[in-house]
Structure 1
Amino acid sequence: MSDKLKIGISIGDVNGIGLEVIIKTLADARILDYCTPIVYGHTKVASFHRKALDMGEFSFNVINSPAEVQGKRANMINCWEEDVKIELGETTETGGKYAFLSLERATNDLIAGQIDALVTAPINKHNIQSESFHFPGHTEYLQERAGGQDSLMFLVSEDLRVGVVTGHVPVTEIASKISQESIISKLKLMNDSLKKDFWVRKPKIAVLGLNPHAGDNGLIGNEEQTTIIPAIEQAKASGLLVMGPYAADGFFANGAYKNFDAVLAMYHDQGLIPFKHIAFENGVNFTAGLNIVRTSPDHGTAYDIAGKNLASEISFREAMFAAMHIVKNRRESAELTENTLAFGKLSRDRD
């Protein structure tokens, strides 16, 4: 039995670039030296995309469950039987329906422990909405499925790690959703993830302000004085190494982020715009704070280039390696903790 990790992959919107970046990643057989990939979708849909990419030599090994994987092949589980109408570059109900069927089946296997991690290709957050999926995005869906009280949208790369207090919420609601409690919760999740998932011994975290110039001492908004600074002080009192609040523009422009292990932004675009600029194609979206491991590329469905063989697979490949890295770090951390506890018990017994 192979000891390689089983990495599940959901295909995302069938009309986007999800299957393109998946196939391009898995077509490089070197990935099979590190993991056993299992794609949740359908061979007919994959064949359509393969032909669009003119990759005639590539094929999947079809299985019914993760227990049947072949370690030297890219595997696929067919999640439906009917034919699917693919309209590359279009936003359709079909795209959302089959994105969800793929995600649901993969998540079921992830929670059941049949796969070690999940890498999700991009969905369209509008057309995937249904009675079964009523979430702003993957992060919130997986948090509920995994039974988590909270989670952190954590964008990671070699050069920068950024988390957000508020994720997929309208700009008009951001300020009302930021509280001392929410900031402290995200800081604790970030700190724990840096230690457990990335093996940062003593994480140093920067916190951004909400308002321009971090409020300018109350001249441009008072959330820094009433909410963010008290949260930082409370986090420091609990033992976290946290600094701020920093004005976002200058913080990224002058390279101050290089002095920290991670940055907590107040809202989605405040953190993701500089992250995507700095990380270029290497960024990965990681859902931190859950007992499962899920990563994704840091781009969307890219309908405008779907089917044109223009999509780069770099971010998706990085997401696969990040998932493997995090799973192994967690297991080694758990083993180290178990050994430490066992040694402590042995010492006490001898005393």
Structure 2
Amino acid sequence: MNPKKNKPVIGISIGDINGIGVEVTIKALLDNRIQKMITPVIYAHGKVLSFYRKQLGLEDFNFMQIRHIDEVHHKKINVINVMEESPEVISGVETQEAGKMALASLDAAIKDLKENKLDGLVTAPLNKNNINSPEKRFIGHTEYLTEAFGVKNSLMFLVSEDVRVGLVTGHIPIKDVSSNISESGIKTKLDIMIKSLKDDFGIGKPRIAVLGLNPHAGEDGLLGDEEEKIIIPVIREYKDKGQLVFGPYSADGFFGMMYQKKFDGVLAMYHDQGLIPFKSLAFETGVNFTAGLPIVRTSPDHGTAYNIAGKNIADEGSMRAAIMQAYDIIRNRNDWEEESD
């Protein structure tokens, strides 16, 4: 669907109904700017939305229940029931029933994405503990969606107005990081990042900083040799091809000196190396974007936050940013496709 002709239809998988996902979704959609930009479809259950609307005193939030995506109403907030009966909402409590609903919500949205009924997906936070089962192992949204769409590689790309951070390795134990750093792995993530910065963010010639793996980027081999043997040869190869790829930088000094402002993207070697500075810099406006997929998927950069669930104190800034970022990427991809035709 071309957003120039119609508002893009964006699905929202509700995540864990006992966390803050429903609250931040409702609050974000109460923003009139968003309702003018997109047609939202929430994959959940009407009773869950009604429960939080009453509990949080958000009576201005109105929605229309539809049975199927083909019934979508472009001037309403649409809700599709993903289960016959809604699980009981117990704010702040981890339950197996909430986990089942979170997975059912995500799977229903994926089905409609595969049938080209949605232009994009925003995923509210879920809990990996209660979503996992012996039948279905769930590591994270990024890995689940990558497998669902038959893509060999994707990139966890944390983005905000001032900084964009991608990861070479994602949800793996820290003891396994070094053995998972390879020239081919870094090249794969760099290629996805470069393409995404061009296609999804409209940056013609992106500048990318690559972080080192070891403290002080290895200190010329004194503190580890991954930089000398793996990372530097990759950077040199991309420079020789005319790409604006620089590094490796020591992560602490790089972010401490705010060097991220000089680059369009930063490639970190592992999860916490990239996410700790990103969330410190952009916690309320940060967005988790899965680059490299044939569909657009974004998410707020926070978790379920059980400790504040149902208290009407959750900040919807990151969810609002995730919805608006999805809209921008959909628009950029459509513009790029039109120019390429």
Q: Same fold (TM over 0.5)?
A: yes
CA contact (8 A) 1:166 1:178 kept: yes
* Correspondence 1:264-279 to 2 at 5 A: 264-279=267-282
Per-residue deviation, residues 157-176 of structure 1 (Å, max 9, x unmatched): 11000000011111111111
Determine helix, strand or coil for the equivalent of 1:127: helix
Asked whether 1:213 is paired with 2:216, we answer: yes
1:202 matched to which residue of 2? Answer: 205
Kindly name which structure, 1 or 2, has the bigger radius of gyration based on alpha carbons: 1
Residues 247 and 18 (structure 1), Cα distance of their counterparts in 2 relative to 1, 3 Å cut: same
Match for residue 302 of structure 1 among 295, 302, 305 = 305
1:228 matched to which residue of 2? Answer: 231
- Between the aligned partners of 1:117 and 1:279, the Cα distance in structure 2 is 23
Asked whether 1:42 is paired with 2:45, we answer: yes
Determine helix, strand or coil for the equivalent of 2:169: coil
The code of the aligned residue for 2:72 comes to V
The code of the aligned residue for 2:146 comes to Q
2:75 matched to which residue of 1? Answer: 72
CA shift at 1:132, angstroms?
5.2
1:179 matched to which residue of 2? Answer: 182
The code of the aligned residue for 2:231 comes to I
CA contact (8 A) 1:195 1:203 kept: yes
Structure 1: runs of 5 or more not aligned? 339-351
1:63 matched to which residue of 2? Answer: 66
CA shift at 1:60, angstroms?
1.3
CA shift at 1:116, angstroms?
0.3
- Between the aligned partners of 1:57 and 1:204, the Cα distance in structure 2 is 44
CA contact (8 A) 2:45 2:86 kept: no
Q: Percent identity?
A: 57
1:130 matched to which residue of 2? Answer: 133
Match for residue 36 of structure 2 among 13, 26, 33 = 33
- Between the aligned partners of 1:294 and 1:207, the Cα distance in structure 2 is 24
- Between the aligned partners of 1:184 and 1:271, the Cα distance in structure 2 is 17
1:345 matched to which residue of 2? Answer: none
1:149 matched to which residue of 2? Answer: 152
Identify which range, 328-337 or 60-69, moves more after superposition.
60-69
Structure 2: runs of 5 or more not aligned? none
Identify which range, 152-161 or 129-138, moves more after superposition.
129-138
**Cα RMSD for the two superposed structures:** 1.3
The code of the aligned residue for 1:117 comes to G
CA contact (8 A) 1:184 1:232 kept: no
2:98 matched to which residue of 1? Answer: 95
What TM-score results when the alignment is normalised by the length of structure 2?
A: 0.96
- Between the aligned partners of 2:135 and 2:15, the Cα distance in structure 1 is 16
- Between the aligned partners of 1:254 and 1:331, the Cα distance in structure 2 is 36
* Correspondence 1:237-256 to 2 at 5 A: 237-256=240-259
- Between the aligned partners of 1:289 and 1:28, the Cα distance in structure 2 is 29
CA shift at 1:30, angstroms?
3.1
Asked whether 1:120 is paired with 2:120, we answer: no
CA contact (8 A) 1:53 1:309 kept: yes
What TM-score results when the alignment is normalised by the length of structure 1?
A: 0.94
- Between the aligned partners of 2:94 and 2:340, the Cα distance in structure 1 is 48
- Between the aligned partners of 2:70 and 2:135, the Cα distance in structure 1 is 27
- Between the aligned partners of 1:149 and 1:236, the Cα distance in structure 2 is 25
Aligned pair count reads: 338
CA shift at 1:73, angstroms?
1.3
1:349 matched to which residue of 2? Answer: none
The code of the aligned residue for 1:41 comes to A
Asked whether 1:316 is paired with 2:319, we answer: yes
Determine helix, strand or coil for the equivalent of 1:245: strand
